[in-house]
């Protein structure tokens, strides 16, 4: 996953814009095989992970990792539950 930096002083990020999340389906498919789940599950995981980063979460420290990955798990469970309700 690559991370792009926010705007600069000369070119600030517009108000309300958190950033972009770009997912490459081919890379997601490769990662899914390694992780042992479907490509769609990997795309959902990458999307949830990216959203959390845009909201300011990180996982550089163990306590940050526990918090962020816990939230990521909750988001993915929410996706699964809403999918079952269809």
Q: How do residues 21-67 score in pLDDT, each as one tens digit?
A: 999 999 999 999 999 999 999 999 999 999 999 999 999 999 999 99
Spatial CA neighbour of 46 closest among 67, 64, 20, 18? 20
Q: Where are the domains of the chain?
A: 25-84
Distances (CA, A) of 11 to 18, 20, 21: 15, 16, 20
Over 70: is that where the pLDDT of 6 sits? no
The answer on pLDDT for 5 being more than 70 is no
More confident residue, 63 or 13: 63
Would you say domain 25-84 falls under CATH 3.40.50.300?
A: no
Question: What is the predicted pLDDT for the residue at 82?
Answer: 78
- Residue 36: per-residue pLDDT: 97
Q: What is the pLDDT of residue 7?
A: 62
């Amino acid at each position: 996953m690559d991370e792009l930096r926010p705007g600069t002083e000369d070119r600030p990020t517009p108000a309300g814009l958190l950033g972009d999340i770009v997912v490459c389906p081919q890379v997601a498919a490769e990662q899914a095989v390694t992780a042992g789940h479907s490509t769609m599950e990997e795309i959902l995981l990458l999307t949830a992970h990216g959203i959390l980063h845009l909201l300011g979460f990180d996982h550089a420290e163990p306590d940050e990792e526990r918090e962020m990955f816990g939230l990521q798990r909750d988001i993915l469970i929410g996706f699964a539950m809403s999918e079952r309700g269809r």
